[in-house]
């Protein structure tokens, strides 16, 4: 399992980097093209920001449903969610009682891992802040296959395939989701429209 950590952290860095790109969008150009479901989608022209790397960016204005997309084809291609799955994993953990709240602590197993910040006890709050994979793997085992499969299906998360192992299906394994689907999921989360209690979504 530890073999995925370096790759996962690189993908977290890439994900954070893409989020930071939104800061400079005011200085980019875009054009209108027909989008999915008959809506207009603004095509972002920010190739220079990706410096030759194959990537995508999807932004959505929830006030007017306007979508902004760079590399539409890539945005619809599914990839393993890696650390972005911490969001649904946290929600499922709270809903099933695998953790009581963001303050409940899981004890470190004593295994020395690549990042010093991982090598200690963690709560849900600190684990998501430090991207401590072991915490989420342990919580997924506590959630169990039946509950995990139930909620992944209920929220319609990507291809819904958790067959890659209860503690690694989201880590370069069987679960895959596109950037467009991630935006839809986050929109439902922001609007508290997921099949979880209001308390847990807040």
- Does this model's pTM top 0.75? My answer is yes
Q: Which token pair is 122?
A: 């963690």
Q: How far is CA 19 from the centre of its chain?
A: 12
Res 38 pLDDT > 70 = no
Residue position matching structure tokens 């429209």: 193
The tens digit of pLDDT for each residue in 117-157 reads 999 999 999 999 999 999 999 999 999 999 999 999 999 99
Give CA–CA dist 197/195, Å, rounded.
7
What is residue 39's predicted lDDT score, i.e. its pLDDT? 59
Tell me the average pLDDT of the chain: 86
What is residue 16's predicted lDDT score, i.e. its pLDDT? 39
Active site residues: 83
Residue 1 confidence class, pLDDT cut points 50, 70, 90: very low
Contact between residue 167 and residue 137 where contact means Cβ atoms under 8 Å apart? yes
Res 25 pLDDT > 90 = no
What is residue 24's predicted lDDT score, i.e. its pLDDT? 36
The tens digit of pLDDT for each residue in 90-108 reads 999 999 999 999 999 999 9
Say what percent of the chain tops pLDDT 90. 78
**Which three-class secondary structure state does DSSP give residue 97?**
coil
Q: Which token pair is 164?
A: 């890659």
Res 17 pLDDT > 90 = no
**Which three-class secondary structure state does DSSP give residue 142?**
helix
Res 29 pLDDT > 50 = no
């Amino acid at each position: 399992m530890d073999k995925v950590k370096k790759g996962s952290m690189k993908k977290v860095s890439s994900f954070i980097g893409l989020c930071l790109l939104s800061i400079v969008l005011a200085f980019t150009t875009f054009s209108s093209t027909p989008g999915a479901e008959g809506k207009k989608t603004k095509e972002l022209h920010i190739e220079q920001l990706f410096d030759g790397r194959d990537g995508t960016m999807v932004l959505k204005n929830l006030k007017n449903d306007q979508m902004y997309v760079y590399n539409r084809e890539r945005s619809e291609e599914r990839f393993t969610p890696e650390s972005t799955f911490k969001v649904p994993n946290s929600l499922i953990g709270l809903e099933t009682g695998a953790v009581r709240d963001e303050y409940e602590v899981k004890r470190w197993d004593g295994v020395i891992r690549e990042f010093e910040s991982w090598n200690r006890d963690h709560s849900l709050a600190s684990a998501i802040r430090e991207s401590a994979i072991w915490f989420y793997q342990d919580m997924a085992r506590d959630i169990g296959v039946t509950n995990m499969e139930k909620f992944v299906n209920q929220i319609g998360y990507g291809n819904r395939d958790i067959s890659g192992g209860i503690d690694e299906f989201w880590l370069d394994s069987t679960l895959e989701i596109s950037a467009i689907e991630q935006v839809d999921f986050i929109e439902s989360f922001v609007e508290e429209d997921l099949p979880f209690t209001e308390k847990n979504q807040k």
